[in-house]
Amino acid sequence: MRDIPLSNCERRFLLKAIEEKKRLDGRQTYDYRNIKITFGTDYGCCIVELGRTRVLCQVSCELVPPKDSRPTEGIMFFNLELSPMASPAFEPNRQSELLVMLNRQLERCLRNSKCIDTESLCVVSGEKVWQIRVDVHVLNHDGNLMDAASIAAISALSHFRRPDVAIQGRDITVFSPEERDPIPLSIYHMPICVSFAFFLQGSYLLVDPCEREERVKDGLLVIAMNKHREICSIQSSGGIMLLKDQVLRCSKIASVKVSEITELINKALENDRKIRKEGGKFGFAESMPKERITTLKRDEAPVEMTDVKETANEIVNRTETPTEAVSSPVLVAMGTAQVGEGIVNSWGLDEDEEDEPQTEDTKTDEVLVISDSEEEEVVILNEEAQKSTKPSKQK
């Protein structure tokens, strides 16, 4: 499924807003979106949220034979996946140009920059080394996937612990985390990518572009740098010509952003380490905000139940009996009435008429008499019928 292109009106609106130094989400030109780093229960698993862009990273390891050209170094393998769950524009089981570009940039940022000591991953020279696999899954795409993927990858690598091993002759024993504490990776520095989007032939630039802004950009500059202001990699795409002053300006901005993000990663690692040491709850489930329904919640009031009978008897004794019987229905509320013992029933016929069924002899006859003037009607009741009803009541 292809992505829906922007209309001309929306494109002109976005470009006009960028000219006026305004953004859709209210940010300034050099502002990042909110970054949230959450670690899972297992070592090397984390989720990074950059605004509404969500990326999941999982680091794993296994013992494999080394490469022939480097028998004493471990192997680093990176894999990034774009699933249709992240965006309807991503097709399953198909490598797009965006996927290939993101994989190459991630390898340049982390593997080619030598941020991890690969020689410490060697177990037996020429026979067994550790292969570190970094799997990055994009959960939701809202722009700037490269920055989110690099932050997730370096955070997961810093959080990962590999099993401890012991060598006796040619036998290699891998210990479980219960037998021996796992060993963290040896990380020299933390390279982080910072993306700059250029608009209107390089006249305007934005940091951390969202998905809508990426659609109208003319070029993209990605700078990978660590907190020591060392540029690990730099890549420009989009076919736009950049001046030397523009690249230097972007590098200065990137140094500030990288130092802030590195400090955030260190704080997240320290908090996770502290919670695990104290035995508290950790993981993705604990980091989710707890939303509970409190509408039907009522505060429980303590009730003393020791002298219930005595209190009830006192209340009954203090009540006064009614002196007069109620002779009319009691109105409980508007439109309702109560009829009970001692209350006159006025809802229908009399009780005598309801108890005694009418016979043919006692049936009242009605005679309609019309006068000559036809102006009045008189109903004459049969006198014999009236006489027959009186002795029945006396009985």
CA distance 61 to 77: 10
Mean predicted confidence (pLDDT) in 114-118: 91
* Listed range (115-129, 175-189, 289-303, 359-373) with the worst mean pLDDT: 359-373
Structural domain boundaries in the chain:
8-287
Strands 165-168 and 171-174, how do they pair?
antiparallel
Q: Please check whether residue 129 is in contact with residue 116, taking contact to mean a CB–CB distance below 8 angstroms.
A: no
What average pLDDT does this structure show over 291-317?
71
State whether CATH 3.30.230.70 applies to domain 8-287: yes
Q: Which residues is 380 bridged to in the sheet?
A: 367
Name the band, by pLDDT with cuts 50, 70 and 90, for residue 395.
very low
Is 367 in contact with 379 (CB distance < 8 Å)? yes
Q: What is the pLDDT of residue 393?
A: 44
Query: In this model, does residue 356 exceed pLDDT 60?
Result: no
HEC assignment per residue over the chain: CCCCCCCHHHHHHHHHHHHCCCCCCCCCCCCCCCEEEEECCCCCEEEEEECCEEEEEEEEEEEECCCCCCCCCCEEEEEEEECCCCCCCCCCCCCCHHHHHHHHHHHHHHCCCCCECHHHHEEECCCEEEEEEEEEEEEECCCCHHHHHHHHHHHHHHHCEECCEEEECCEEEECCCCCCCCEECCECCCCEEEEEEEECCCCEEEECCCHHHHHCCCEEEEEEECCCCCEEEEEEECCCCCCHHHHHHHHHHHHHHHHHHHHHHHHHHHHHHHHHHHCCCCCHHHHCCCCCCCCCCCCCCCCCCCCHHHHHHHHHHHCCCCCCCCCCCECCCCCCCECCCCCCCCCCCCHHHHHCCCCCCCCCCEEEEECCCCCCEEEEECHHHHHHHHHHHHC
Mean pLDDT throughout 244-249?
92
Supply the pLDDT for residue 292.
Answer: 63
Tokens of 152: 């997730």
Q: How far apart are CA 220 and CA 234, in angstroms?
A: 11
Rounded to an integer, the average pLDDT of 114-124 is 91
Q: What pLDDT was estimated at residue 255?
A: 94
Other CB atoms within 10 Å distance of the CB of residue 79 = 12
- Higher pLDDT pick, 29 / 288: 29
The mean pLDDT value for 318-335 works out to: 60
Q: Is the pLDDT of residue 10 over 50?
A: yes
Residue 324 confidence class, pLDDT cut points 50, 70, 90: low
What is the identity of the amino acid at 221? L
Ranges 78-82, 86-90, 271-275, 379-383: which has the least confidence: 379-383
Q: Percentage of the chain with pLDDT > 70?
A: 76
Read off φ and ψ for residue 372, nearest 5 degrees: -65, -35
Q: What is the spatial distance between Cα 142 and Cα 208, in angstroms, rounded to a whole number?
A: 11
pLDDT at 383 over 70: no
Q: What is the pLDDT of residue 309?
A: 81
The overall average pLDDT reported for the chain is 81
pLDDT higher than 80, residue 389:
no
CB 169 within 8 A of CB 126: no
Candidate from 148-162, 284-298, 307-321, 358-372 with smallest mean pLDDT = 358-372
Listed range (98-112, 199-213, 271-285) with the worst mean pLDDT: 271-285
**How far, CA to CA in Å, does 358 sit from each of 67, 361, 378, 385?**
114, 8, 24, 11
CB 49 within 8 A of CB 36: yes
Q: What value does the mean pLDDT take over residues 228-243? A: 88
Residue 391 exposure: Cα atoms within 13 Å on the Cβ side:
5
Q: Name the one residue in this structure whose structure tokens are 């996770």.
A: 272
pLDDT at 58: 95
Residue 37 pLDDT class (50, 70, 90 cuts):
very high
Mean pLDDT (whole number) for 49-53: 93
Amino acid identity at 377: E
pLDDT in tens, 177-220: 888 999 999 999 999 999 999 998 888 999 999 999 999 999 99
Q: Picking from 35-44, 120-129, 369-378, which range would have the lowest pLDDT averaged per residue?
A: 369-378
The label of the residue with tokens 């480097």 reads 70
